[in-house]
Chain A
Amino acid sequence: ETGVTQSPTHLIKTRGQQVTLRCSSQSGHNTVSWYQQALGQGPQFIFQYYREEENGRGNFPPRFSGLQFPNYSSELNVNALELDDSALYLCASSEEGPRETQYFGPGTRLLVL
């Protein structure tokens, strides 16, 4: 039990729509990273937030955006959904700043039709 929860567990959207995925970390975990995992692939780093500011970003377009809140929750927003956005989205948190050890949530599976 990592203490990291994600909602919803599954989601179906249509192309062009917008989606918001949510993550709740353990108290004190002030760093959160988001990943996209396509079927048969490893997690691809989207971005990281530390103390509510973006702290690092992978090769994802600006339509992927995020927010981190003082209560250790965070959001991943994706605009103008494309079919290739269908994937498992994982959030991972770490305590006391960015660290090698991250605690992952179970993920949200998004299907874009």
Chain B
Amino acid sequence: DQQVKQNSPSLSVQEGRISILNCDYTNSMFDYFLWYKKYPAEGPTFLISISSIKDKNEDGRFTVFLNKSAKHLSLHIVPSQPGDSAVYFCAASDYNFNKFYFGSGTKLNVKP
């Protein structure tokens, strides 16, 4: 049961422009949504999260937007930098944080 989906396997963006990564989910009981970044040969690293009671959370160049009615969230990176090139995973959990559901990832390539 794929409860979290990332339908774009890859995204290519020019340096300095905006990167928008999308994620859809099916379970309306999720309380938190998270984004992780993964470089090759490394484990994923936590990037940013958002609670289901909010619709936006911002941290520097990274902003996550949540649309609960559409069961959709997106990660915006502005401006994009070549060092942002990585695989980005969307994940979800309830408030117990004792079970996490990950999407299949989107590979972002930021071209210099």
Contacts and interface: CB of A to CB of B under 8 A. Distances in A.
B43 A48 contact: no
A52 to B, nearest CB: 15
Given A2-B43, A43-B89, A100 B98 contact: no
B69 interface: no
A92 B102 contact: no
A42 B100 contact: no
B59 to A, nearest CB: 13
A48 B44 contact: no
Contacts of B4: 42
B57 to A, nearest CB: 12
B104 A50 contact: no
B96 A56 contact: yes
Which 3 interchain pairs have the tightest Cβ spacing?
Answer: A104-B43, A56-B98, A42-B102
